Amino acid sequence: MHSRRTVLTTAAAAAAAAAGAGAGPAHGTAPAVGHQPADPAPSAATRTRLRRLISRMTPEEKVGQLFVMRVYGHSATDPDPADAAANQKEIGVANAAELIAKYHVGGIIYFGWAHNTREPHQIAELSNGIQKAAAAQRVPVPVLISTDQEHGIVARVGAPATLFPGAMALGAGGSRDDARTAARIAGEELFAMGIRQDYAPDADVNVNPANPVIGVRSFGADPQAVARMVAAEVKGYQGAGIASCAKHFPGHGDTDTDSHVGLPYIHHSAEEWERLDAPPFKAAIAAGIDSIMTAHIVVPAFDPSEDPATLSRPILTGILRERLGYDGVVVTDSLGMEGVRVKYGDARVPVLALKAGVDQLLNPPDLAVAHGAVLTALKEGELTERDLDAKLLRILLLKERRGLFKDPYTTHRAVDRVVGTRAHLATADRIADRTTTLLRNDTGVLPLSRRREGRVLVAGVDAAAPSGTGGPPTTVLARALTELGFTATALSTGQTPTQQRIDEAVAALRERDAAVVATYNVTAASGQRKLVEALLATGKPVVQLAVRNPYDIAQLTGVTAALASYSWTDVELRAAARVIAGLRSPAGRLPVPIMRADAPTRALYQIGHGLTY
């Protein structure tokens, strides 16, 4: 089940080695690097006030404050019947207000699939309802409301909120100012909806092209470049008043197993970790990061017990706390993921995580079991009240720093003034224009001409975009090209096109002047290869656009015009359309190397490659 293969490409390793020159010695010999200067230190009076608040709590209330939990529904008190039933089944309560009253949870995480994020005004009302429920408790403590709004392929809040290019697209743009601006605007919009923590940025360095879970969620394969972008986004989010969270410590970038479904191994030595994985987390700490999320990965070089990092005291306390000097909040990745559940039962996982150095326990599969297990460990002395109080103080200091004790509420006026404004949307488009990467243009196919190639077939994948967006990639691209003066027709052929769909696409192209084909993580056996080859065989101009990982071109040797957008969301596809139409010159540069399919140790394109016109 566990993959022990480490894929460190020659080009990526070389780039990392050059970028990491001057890095400190291996684990166990370097001094702490911790300094968190972004926000002023809390006053003695603030600490005293929060300690008094903690002293008023019962053990049940203290334990509850450690949990960040999902809850179904668009309303804190009146969810749809199906959502109330789902809450009863999974949590034993009907709604968010009952969740707070029963378990005293300190945080709630929003998901689209939990129907928390229908539209901005509803999100604001939900947030206010949650805070009202928290204020009504015996010991009122505001709730830290969070979500995963990385942008790109991971965005829980869709349009009409502003959606920006994701991390790897920003890495291709290479602008720290753009990264900081995107994070600041995104943070302002989340704040207006009552969300005070974003589980972003992703601080993983994606040096493994086969990584199934990180990929374009990472800024790239150069550790120092990733570190600069991570620091910029931390400053952007926290400058907007919300907590940022760097993930996934100690680094999830070199895996070929998805920790949602298995337990990945990272076989980096201590020196390789220092050079490849550590720089972005050090940069986040130096930028004053409020929180860091753990990874459900095994790193034998740091913990021979082969416990996942989430449960590893040598990693979370020995490295993160003591060596890197980090004293902010440590939150687990979701405790419902298989990577943290394969070795221990659901009752032991939260206790072991707290003993390892975690402060917040995110989304356990069974809250009653997890809450009860932590409470029992506290009563039996496995967890000490002193240690628990220290964790609570970190959490409450974060809430204090983000203004929750002063005013946890929002308003419809704030939503209307901030969320999805014309200025924000225009900024997102300008940033996206600097990210599209032209990988190949051997015969000068690009840009397409409205005169010569005015009738365009847009074929390819139909990956789902975040809610509220324009639809599958083919539809969005065709619409964008039509608005730019082409006559574009969409034909979704899917990620695994059948021969019938391939034949339909070929027939459609014969009636048109050119094709744009959107590809998604093409493999050697993929039907997408057959689709592209069949379109090329017509002799018509064909433009290939990678709408997720940029590595597709390695499998498509016959393609002469290739672009990478790094995501299939509207903002990136519209930018790609402007490049295809020649309204913008491609400005992105590869933030990862693309290795040859027939010789995986040799680079087809190096980091920094990118053509223009």
Kindly list the catalytic residues.
Answer: 260, 333
- Beta strands, E only, 356-500: 361-362, 437-441, 455-460, 487-492
Beta strands in 388-531 (DSSP E): 437-441, 455-460, 487-492, 514-519
- CB neighbours (10 Å) of residue 378? 20
Alpha carbons 293 and 274: distance in angstroms, whole number = 18
Q: Which of 244, 238, 225 is nearest to 173 (CA)?
A: 225
Alpha-carbon span 480 to 576, nearest angstrom: 9
- What is the full DSSP assignment across 472-483? SHHHHHHHHHHH
CB within 8 Å of 33: residues ≥ 6 apart: 24, 282, 285, 286, 323, 324, 325
- Phi, psi dihedral angles at 84 (to 5 degrees): -60, -40
Fill in the DSSP letter of residue 354: H
Decide: 105 and 143 in contact? Cβ < 8 Å.
Answer: yes
Residue 307 CB neighbours (<10 A) = 20
Instruction: List the beta bridge partners of residue 464.
Output: none
Neighbours of 381 (CB within 10 A): 8
Q: State the Cα–Cα distance between residues 79 and 96, nearest whole angstrom.
A: 9
Q: 1: Cβ–Cβ under 8 A, 6 or more apart, which residues?
A: 262, 263, 342
- The DSSP element (H or E) to which 146 belongs, if any, is strand 144-147
